[in-house]
Structure 1
């Protein structure tokens, strides 16, 4: 505003007295207070600040009175699809910074190869020089397009012309609308490599933090969250209210973008996830497979499992399984299994698709699908046909699998009771298990646990397997005990009332099979408890007793099952815990199970004690009926 006033008064004071007398019989107070001087010829062009030009509504004719109009000029360059022709006509328009920027943008659109030749061309350098000379007069939107084009053409981040454009953008941040800031974020954040570019990103994030209330549309909101959520956690917290305000208006694609941005930053914002999921479920619109795949990946990474939205995505995905690529199918099944969501029709459709396109599945993709089936403890209806295909595809491809993938595959076959000695022998060789158990390793500890469970399967469920086995010394450090959950603590307190003698019940027992049990006790043939440490127990790591167990006595293992041990909204154990129960039974234990959904219905101590006694009687009756 001050620049405009200076410009007007400078022009007003430069006019002749005769013009003032003829055109304005009543001069203003400002003119009266200023002595009128004779007009002086201007020896240099009048300087005006660039602030008065920061609008996108400036008519093109004010910048260039000669040549074609702006509309005709844009139509002309947009009709040209050759970088050489655009460079050829650039000499006619390179004196105008706005038109030079438009030509550069069009060059970036039509140039797919030989970008270095275009950037190093002398005529392209002249365009950049014209832009640099008139950088302050280039319109906002065109300046943004210019920056995008320079990035697309691969101009070096240290190039002085690119740095000039970035500096101009930095100076205009406060003048840009919030919509332009959102588009700028999507543009600059992925390309920020140099120190100056990273500083520009930080300034952009600070500017948006101060102006986040100006967001009025979903597209800008999505752009800001997608680009700047990883830069500023404060911005993401402030945008949470905006997301909740516009959640109903988001398209599935925009919901996917926001969810993926949360997953990239590992920000598990439950209000945002619940709001987006609610509207995805209640919107009468079928989700496309690509959106489902990305949403499932983000939900799995954030460990967000809401049954209704997972059920909708499984239902929408079911008729389109054949359209999925092998990579998408494997990734989607992995996400469903991570969230413990089991859909029988979807799993059957994926198994059928694997049979139909077995030749297009890579060994890693097929192994991932089998691992997902194992997590969900799912056996295809065409079991023999499916696993004969698996054996045929993988028997000659085991060498191509990395050690972690090989361990996952063999563990999955153990869960599904389909493992054979060649697979066991391949995994239990020292060169494999030493990578996970023999010394310091960066691999997750769950691979050590999986190897121990594979070893137990070889001992208890595969009598034809002759070795090798894991050394006993390695098994003592696998799966260390953790703190008791509320369910385990409650069960332990009730068991103390059921078995008042401390010697008759042992708690938190670690077996030689690397499975922890909540409690262990022995009952004789008349169901009377016996002193536990009196008798030899080959299943426990540390047992010094030498007396054999009396005839007819039975050894019991109490195992409580938490919510996370079951498939979502189901009473079926997931694969790993079903394998644990199978191992305990194969080792000679009578397993007394305490599911969380039955225990939480019991209110008094008397009810809980009666429940445990009934479970013991039920297990004994089942053992006697076999």
Structure 2
């Protein structure tokens, strides 16, 4: 075909040009410059062939391209066969290679299956026929020679209702079948994939290469939990660094966290960043691994890009893990390269620092560049992102009045209303009471000896925070009744009655495990801000952290503990 096209093009080029023909026939009527520009062609390079086109054509054969196999008598008989017996008889008389066996198997299954595409009841004699067994043995022994018909062969095994114990295919080919049919929605193809997975589950001990293990784990939605557990056991022992990275990212996207996730020592930077993302996505806490990752990342921080910095910081923020030297390095990186950070990256970095309650040592330089970056871009943020950024600046004590005023703009309200209207069944989440809060509120009843007028629990404040309990004590540190006196933290200021002289208001706060950073007794950013707000309302805070409360075994111990905490809070206030 190519030679024909070349001959035709050469003949076409050998003709006189239309410009010359027109010029010869129109000597008395010269062509205008406009017409000439329309008729001109691009100049063609003159090509002189090494031989004349009329010579005998000799085509050189590429030694790397295999020659097409000749059609044999078996191919002709299989093609003309009308019944399964014709195919089996042809195979017995003219036994062929693996590719011919595959073609015969495909046609045989189509005959048995029929034209309706349903699974028929197959005669057991056909399945036990030694000629069929020989066809399958040939495919098994020469499977590498099976060309484009491999998937059709796999489908034919399923259509023939062959027992799962039939080991015609290797586990690699079964994995290929799973990959082939994974995204195909038709029920017949789903059934094929499920059948292949069933065989893999029965033959899981054969799976040995890392490529197949990682490929199967990445498509584990339909696998049984037992097969996934066995594959995950193989991950630790067999996979390379990059394969561990790929498998972990796949598992993070599905929220599965059974594999012991641990990067190898001296890991490349992309692997460390991806593993940090995986840990954050799966909420997988392992402080020793985090320490090692931070130690490896710390000297590489100057080489990281802004997206790497914000991505890693965000992942560690999800884990509530604050590594001070690493986050100091993140802050220094932003200070030195702030012009390379886009607005979204600045916002993500701010929200992470606010979540962890981290204040960089170079805070003045750091925040000056942050404010400079936000001045022009804050008004263009999406409503929810704008709220998160302003909230983060409040937590970090860096908010400016016009930041908060931007939330009251009519155009912002319109955007927020439009965003909320797009949410289906949007309802605010009802507050939940933790076991620690419930136990504290019960113990406070014992503290006041059942005097309902001396205690309020679950007190809502104008700041949006909820107090677990509130009591008042006089100058002698004795409980007094709460007669709705005024209070800055109460809606409507709680009434008009002023506090008696020497009276103090105490607020009880239960700090659960999620309120703290990982392996830390420091509160996260929002709860540190909560303390500041309540202290500004002239409340003495009685903090009850979970790690102290868990050591109290009896109700008597808890009441004594609360009395002691109240006494310390009053003493500290008097010392001021």
- Structure 2 length normalisation: TM-score? 0.69
- Hey, what does 2:272 align to over in structure 1? 292
Cα distance in 2 between the residues matched to 1:585 and 1:315: 38
1:191-590 paired onto structure 2 within 5 Å: 192=184, 201-226=193-218, 228-230=219-221, 232-234=222-224, 236-244=225-233, 247-269=236-258, 272=259, 275-277=260-262, 280=263, 285-432=265-412, 441=421, 480-482=430-432, 484-500=433-449, 501-541=451-491, 546-590=496-540
Per the alignment, do residues 556 and 138 of structure 1 end up closer, same or farther by CA in structure 2, a change over 3 Å counting? same
Cα distance in 1 between the residues matched to 2:146 and 2:473: 83
What secondary structure sits across from 2:261 in the alignment?
Answer: helix
CA distances 1:437-458 after superposition (whole Å, capped 9, x unpaired) = 799556699xx9xxxxxxxxxx
Cα distance in 1 between the residues matched to 2:292 and 2:180: 34
Per the alignment, do residues 316 and 606 of structure 1 end up closer, same or farther by CA in structure 2, a change over 3 Å counting? same
CA distances 1:316-355 after superposition (whole Å, capped 9, x unpaired) = 1111122322222211111100110000011011111112
- Higher mean C-alpha displacement, 375-384 vs 537-546: 537-546
Per the alignment, do residues 557 and 50 of structure 1 end up closer, same or farther by CA in structure 2, a change over 3 Å counting? farther
What secondary structure sits across from 2:391 in the alignment?
Answer: helix
Q: Tell me by how many angstroms 1:417 deviates.
A: 0.1
Q: Tell me by how many angstroms 1:411 deviates.
A: 1.0
CA contact (8 A) 1:256 1:294 kept: yes
Which residue, out of 172, 175, 182, partners 2:175? 182
- Hey, what does 2:567 align to over in structure 1? 617
Q: Structure 2 unaligned segments of length 5 or more: list them.
A: 1-73, 75-89, 103-138, 159-166
- Aligned alpha-carbon RMSD (Å): 3.5
Q: Tell me by how many angstroms 1:240 deviates.
A: 0.7
Cα distance in 2 between the residues matched to 1:142 and 1:312: 49
Per the alignment, do residues 237 and 362 of structure 1 end up closer, same or farther by CA in structure 2, a change over 3 Å counting? farther
Q: Tell me by how many angstroms 1:252 deviates.
A: 3.2
CA distances 1:110-147 after superposition (whole Å, capped 9, x unpaired) = xxxxxxxxxxxxxxxxxxxxxxxxxx999755768x7x
What secondary structure sits across from 2:535 in the alignment?
Answer: helix
Per the alignment, do residues 502 and 485 of structure 1 end up closer, same or farther by CA in structure 2, a change over 3 Å counting? same
Cα distance in 1 between the residues matched to 2:338 and 2:186: 46
Cα distance in 1 between the residues matched to 2:423 and 2:476: 49
Q: Tell me by how many angstroms 1:520 deviates.
A: 0.9
What secondary structure sits across from 2:463 in the alignment?
Answer: coil
Instruction: Provide the aligned length of Structure 1 versus Structure 2.
Output: 444
What secondary structure sits across from 1:564 in the alignment?
Answer: helix
Cα distance in 2 between the residues matched to 1:540 and 1:616: 21
Per the alignment, do residues 545 and 225 of structure 1 end up closer, same or farther by CA in structure 2, a change over 3 Å counting? same
Cα distance in 1 between the residues matched to 2:508 and 2:91: 96
Per the alignment, do residues 379 and 543 of structure 1 end up closer, same or farther by CA in structure 2, a change over 3 Å counting? closer
Cα distance in 2 between the residues matched to 1:298 and 1:210: 30
What secondary structure sits across from 1:276 in the alignment?
Answer: coil
1:71-90 paired onto structure 2 within 5 Å: none
Q: Tell me by how many angstroms 1:580 deviates.
A: 1.2
Cα distance in 2 between the residues matched to 1:517 and 1:293: 40
Per the alignment, do residues 550 and 224 of structure 1 end up closer, same or farther by CA in structure 2, a change over 3 Å counting? same
Cα distance in 2 between the residues matched to 1:507 and 1:325: 49
Q: Tell me by how many angstroms 1:610 deviates.
A: 2.4
Q: Tell me by how many angstroms 1:290 deviates.
A: 1.1
Per the alignment, do residues 439 and 503 of structure 1 end up closer, same or farther by CA in structure 2, a change over 3 Å counting? farther
Q: Structure 1 unaligned segments of length 5 or more: list them.
A: 1-6, 8-42, 56-135, 147-163, 449-476
